[in-house]
Structure 1
Amino acid sequence: MTELPENSTRYFNRELSWLAFNRRVMEEATNPAHPLLERLRFLSISGSNFDEFFMVRVAGLMGQQLQKVEARSADGLTPGQQLAAISAEAEMLADNQQAVWTAIRADLAETGIHVLDADAIEGETEAWLEGHFRDQIFPILTPQALDPAHPFPFIPNQGSSVIFDLVRKSDREPVRELVLLPTAIRRFVRLPGNPARYVAVEAVLKHFSHLLFPGYTALGAAAFRVLRDSDIEIEEEAEDLVMTFRSAIKRRRRGRVIRLEMEESISPELEAVLKEELGGSEALLTETGGFLGIGDLAMLVDEDRPDLKFTPYSARFPERIREYGGDCFAAIKAKDIVVHHPYESFDVVLSFLGQAAADPDVVAIKQTLYRAGKQPAVINALIAAAEAGKSVTAVVELKARFDEEQNLYWATALERAGVQVVYGFIDWKTHAKVSMVVRREGNGYRTYCHFGTGNYHPVTARIYTDISFFTADPRVGRDAAQIFNYVTGYVEPHGLELLGISPRDLRNRLVEMIDDEIAHARAGRPGAIWAKMNSLVDPAVIEKLYEASNAGVEIELIIRGICCLRPGVPGMSENIKVKSIVGRFLEHSRIWAFGNGKALPNDGARLFISSADWMQRNFDRRVEFMLPILNKTVHDQVLDQVMVANLLDNEQSWVLQPDGHYTRIVPGEDGSFNLHRYFMTNPSLSGRGAALESRKPVPKLQLKRRRNPPKAKAKA
């Protein structure tokens, strides 16, 4: 691997790049093209993302600092230097979130959705809220005195509380009380009737504190919130992985406090108490005059106002499968199929598994489960197959962050039904999304496979853009069987025919393909690389891309989130362009294309889908796949339709500049193009079958090549 220079001239800092991504998410909340409640949804997502960033990434850096680990990041910063830079940028982002909330709140009021301040609790509003408080909130609350006999209580991760300074009326004795807001209490109380009126529960609690503390006068009260270290580390010598994870999940609630958020109006006395009890010397402390816990604003998005939300969209079911009477196996056997989520329904994946469970000729099902969510459709199909006497193997990943508890629950349910549950490697995550069905046909067996760039998660499949690929290619079936044997029995794969997998050879395969493009460019032929992913971090791959750029390879990258590569730098990366797309749907698919001696797109391009981003963890610490797309129709759809549409988009796209700033693209004289709108209104190529010939053709996308970057405007 390339020896990394310890400076920031070649790489952007990973953590600061992530904060830049979350800023792009937040700025969609100011986009007038989105309906108002959808703008609020973007703001709440930025808040939830922000929390997770502190609970995992910042927690990790603070842990390194406490252990005096001085390992530098690729851009040359120590953990302490990174924390200082993160703290400054995070505070600016938090202030921006509050400003955006203030603006959206005013806009909501104009549409008949009001979020009331505490001083608006009066008259009929006060009378109704008092009854609600007595009946629905008061019974759940447990105030706790803070004195030598009652030490400061434990505040769970993401827990919100209100601390009170009181004085007893009878003897003027000061008393300090703390009230934890249980998760059973919703963050906002909605008053009955219309227009819609909401009051934050902490405002209700403070207003009616005299009911909670009769005989006392409140001198001061302030809400606060804590974020704790939520990463789970598992020792390689763990004897019982399931029991270890059950214990670790419980410990996570009690992790070290990473961030303490307080109301700006908090008194110096109460602030001192919180800092002493929760802040410690290492926690990041912040005060805000706005709303604590921006992610909780998602509750307001549930208001029944379709006029303030995106027009509902119903995903299509692939017509190719309907042409075979809904028989997934017959359709897949005839030709490979690609399904483009969320424009085409995830129901086709459920139908594939459901048919496998019910088909008496199916003898075995093998399935990876990274995030299955709380909806049991996939789990039920596997259980039904096991109960029907089929051999069913489920690889359940316990290390899927924040889904560990749900995955343990599914693993237990699967085992009870007779499914062989395997937890994979202790030190690697099984992140590959693969389903394999073995079916008796004629005198032998045929293997049907599904490979996905996203999870087997029916909910996220409605909002994440992902690729599902179905094939009965025997070569793919043999390779898939080796992947499962690798995870379940640690049997090292040999002689893989089409698939590349990590941590075995994925990085090397990728580097070899970049080297091939370098060779084409040096021989005077076009060298071209297109790649779409969520994050680009791996220094070895970044250095290889720099080498390709210097050789004259034209590189266009669509990276939604983190990008540590510095594009457009003369003499280093002048032939590399990076864009990020943030819009109605979350861009999640991983697609790689290599020109193979011609400009992209072309019929002979080498095209792959993958479960992996270009990060060290995906190459070195996860089981991932890369799969070549060889079928002509599927090749055309993924390259000429999906990838070209992503490159053409100029309504939801941001361009990464050499200095690390992102600028939003402004549609020019050529008109505007929104890739989400395009796919919502135009059927895909692969899934249409005969309908492709008998109906109006899908508009052909034409990529106009420009040497100059698209017109952009400075970030607001």
Structure 2
Amino acid sequence: LAAVEMELRRRRFGRAVRLEVQSGMSAEMVELLVRELDLEPRDVSYHATMLDLTCLFQLAGLDRPDLKDTPWPPVTAGRIAAAEDAERSIFSVIRERPLLVHHPYESFSSSVESFIAQAADDPKVQSIKMTMYRAGGDSPIARSLMRAAERGVQVAVLVELKARFDEATNVTWAKTLERSGVHVVYGLVGLKTHAKCVMVVRNDDDGLRRYCHIGTGNYNSRTARIYEDVGFITCDPAVGADVTQLFNHLTGYSRTQQFETLLVAPREMRNQLVDLIEHESSYGPDGHIQAKLNSLQDPGIIEALYRASQQGTRIDLLVRGLCCLVPGVPGVSETIRVRSQLGRFLEHSRIVRFAHGNQGAGHPSRGEDQPLFLIGSADWMPRNLDKRIEVLVPVTHPKHQMWLDKVFEFTWADDVVRWELDAEGRWHRRGPQRFDEGDAQERFYRWVAATQRR
């Protein structure tokens, strides 16, 4: 903590590494800035557009609804709404069967925030453990944790102090949580903790039970309104045992061991993903891999996907940002498609589907010709697979798998606006000329609203 605080103070006085200026700036002013900042002319980049795009938030914040998109109010998941009407706790809903929640189409407040808030106030709750990567400046979740600690619940939070650009906020939360009695830890040396996990231990009428949330996005109430993410809440004993083991490892109580259900980086995730890709490729043209990611950069994963393509396996990749794989190259990646989707929400979830993934590949969940769905925090990049604590969890309930299939169905429709990557590494806009005639996110929102309000 002290080391991060020192670096934050030093950051303001660090040496300049580049200078960005507007293209109309005079040569005399540029020369003065270069000299005073001890830079070279090659360190200067000229821009015709605005330099600080964050100021656009001020425009978006103006009270002019006539200039803004029609609101898409998040809906409360049907089972949670029914429980609220019947004055039942969210724990009773989870005991019936796991919950899959999809933000911001479904409310973050009535699901994840409510899960932690109810845990904080429930006299049957014994302990709460959580990872915190980007909580934001005013976090209802952090305040729920403080409230729980103040009433005597054992609360442990792993705060990632090295979350890029959120270091100062996380330092402040770490100190505030500690003052409230929360046991704050900072993870493992040399590794960022990027996994999104919560575990609540509750003394139910039939004994202690572990309730776990594993998600793709941060526990941040503000970004949950504009980032598309998926969360999974369960009391499955096998998942609970793995999450317990993970927290014991992160807090220094035990060495890491083999996980039964979770895929965890940096220990085994890359090898398990490569095994799953190779297993799917053994089905040749009958194999099918679908992945929704923020970035795809890892050389080992990319090579495995190329080998699978050469066996005829169909591979559909929805990659929002960086993609180092080149699709459609004859003899190398002919069966691979890559597209990117832009819209009102930032596509942030990581979802992977192997059409035959429940069979072999060293994974504990097996079944003849059954698909395997995974959600979690990890992109397919070296930094995620080698230098971060990441978690993927299998989604096994048929209704939840159907939901994730719908995500792929809407995003891979032929008549939606999207960007497609060609064999030359160039992106091309495809679909209707008018965005509102092919907005996949709007179509999905309307499907969610109709499904949950039935």
Q: Same fold (TM over 0.5)?
A: yes
Q: 2:250 is matched with which residue?
A: 487
In the alignment, which residue of structure 1 is the partner of 2:157?
Answer: 394
Q: How many Å apart are 1:342 and its aligned residue? A: 0.3
Q: Structure 2 counterpart of 1:349, which letter?
A: V
C-alpha RMSD of matched pairs (Å):
2.2
Match of 1:553 in 2: 313
Q: What's the secondary structure of 2:71's corresponding residue?
A: coil
Report the residue type matching 2:177 in the other structure: L
* Secondary structure at 2:286 match in 1: coil
Please list, as runs of the form range in 1=range in 2, the aligned pairs for 1:176-255 lying within 5 A after superposition.
242-255=1-14
Letter in 1 for 2:274: V
SS at match of 1:480: helix
| CA distance in structure 1 between the aligned counterparts of 2:211 and 2:427, rounded to whole angstroms | 43
1:411 and 2:411 equivalent? no
Task: Evaluate the alpha carbon distance shift between residue 545 and residue 415 of structure 1 in structure 2; reply closer, same or farther with a 3 A threshold.
Answer: same
Residue in structure 2 matched with residue 129 of structure 1 by the alignment: none
Task: Determine the C-alpha separation between the residues in 2 that align with 1:273 and 1:282.
Answer: 11
Q: Cα 1:495–1:557, aligned 2, differ >3 Å: closer, same or farther?
A: same
User: Aligned pair in 2 of structure 1 residues 501, 413: CA closer, same or farther (>3 Å)?
Assistant: same
**8 Å contact from structure 1 (residues 568, 575) kept in 2:** yes
Partner of 1:529: 289
Residues 272/680 of structure 1: CA separation in 2 closer, same or farther (3 Å cut) = same
1:323 aligns with 2:82: yes
- Is 2:356 the partner of 1:590? no
Cα distance in structure 1, aligned partners of 2:64 and 2:24: 34
The DSSP-based 3-state class of the residue aligned with 2:209 is strand
Q: Distance in 2 between matches of 1:318 and 1:603?
A: 30
The answer to whether 1:666 aligns with 2:420 is no
Give TM-score, length-normalised by structure 1: 0.59
| Aligned mates of 1:676, 1:337 — CA distance in 2 | 22
Matched to 2:297, the amino acid is V
Question: What is residue 380 of structure 2 aligned with on the other side?
Answer: 614
Which region of structure 1 is more displaced relative to structure 2, 611-620 or 674-683? 674-683
User: In the alignment, does 2:104 pair up with 1:339?
Assistant: no
For residue 66 of structure 2, what is the aligned residue in structure 1?
307
Task: Find the aligned partners of 1:531 and 1:366 in 2 and give their Cα distance.
Answer: 29
Q: Matches of 2:312 and 2:388 in 1, distance apart? A: 32
Q: What is the identity percentage for the equivalent residue pairs of Structure 1 and Structure 2?
A: 44
Shift of 1:624: 0.5
Partner of 1:195: none
Q: CA deviation at 1:285?
A: 1.0
Q: Could you tell me how far apart the structure 1 residues matched to 2:357 and 2:232 are?
A: 26
| Change over 3 Å in CA distance of 1:413–1:553 after alignment to 2 | same
What residue identity is the alignment partner of 1:629? Answer: V
Q: Which residue of 1 aligns with 2:31?
A: 272
Shift of the 294–388 alpha-carbon distance from structure 1 to 2, 3 Å rule, reads: closer
Equivalent residue number for residue 541 of structure 1: 301
Take 2:213 and 2:66, find their aligned partners in 1: how far apart are those partners?
A: 38
Q: 1:408 to 1:644 in 2, by over 3 A?
A: same
Q: CA contact under 8 A between 2:75 and 2:449: conserved in structure 1?
A: no
The C-alpha deviation readout for 1:557-578, integer Å capped at 9, x for no partner, is: 0000000001110011111100
Deviation digits for residues 205-234 of structure 1, max 9, x if unmatched?
Answer: xxxxxxxxxxxxxxxxxxxxxxxxxxxxxx
Distance, in Å, in 2 between the alignment partners of 1:364 and 1:597 is 35
Unpaired runs of 5+ in structure 2?
A: 359-367
Q: Within 5 Å, which residues of 2 pair with 1:694-705? A: 695=454
For residues 256-295 of structure 1, give each alpha carbon's deviation from its aligned partner in whole angstroms, at most 9, with x where no partner exists.
2232233555444433222211252376213456644344
CA contact (8 A) 1:321 1:331 kept: yes
Counterpart amino acid of residue 165 in structure 2: F
Deviation at 1:650, TM superposition (A): 4.1
CA contact (8 A) 1:365 1:438 kept: yes
How is 1:675-690 mapped onto 2 (pairs within 5 angstroms)? 675-683=440-448, 688=452
Following the alignment from structure 2 to structure 1, what is the Cα–Cα distance between the partners of residues 145 and 67?
39
Instruction: Report the Cα distance in structure 1 between the residues aligned to 2:33 and 2:52, rounded to whole angstroms.
Output: 17
For residues 3 and 41 of structure 2, the distance between their equivalents in structure 1, rounded to whole angstroms, comes to 28
Shift of 1:419: 0.5
Q: Distance in 1 between matches of 2:82 and 2:235?
A: 18
Distance in 1, matches of 2:59 and 2:438, equals 31
What residue number does 2:187 align with? 424
Q: Do structure 1's residue 654 and structure 2's residue 416 form an aligned pair?
A: no
Q: Which amino acid aligns with 1:384?
A: R
CA 426–652 in structure 1, closer or farther in 2 if over 3 Å, else same: farther
Larger radius of gyration: 1
Amino acid at match of 1:361: K
Question: What is the DSSP-based 3-state SS (H/G/I as helix, E as strand, rest coil) of the residue aligned with 2:256?
Answer: coil
**Correspondences of 1:499-538 after superposition (within 5 Å):** 499-521=262-284, 526-538=286-298
Q: Which amino acid aligns with 1:665?
A: R
Return the TM-score normalized by structure 2: 0.92
Change in CA separation of 1:581 and 1:411 when aligned onto 2, cut-off 3 Å: same
Q: Which of 578, 581, 584 is the equivalent residue of 2:338? A: 578
CA–CA distance in structure 2, aligned partners of residues 315 and 404 of structure 1? 30
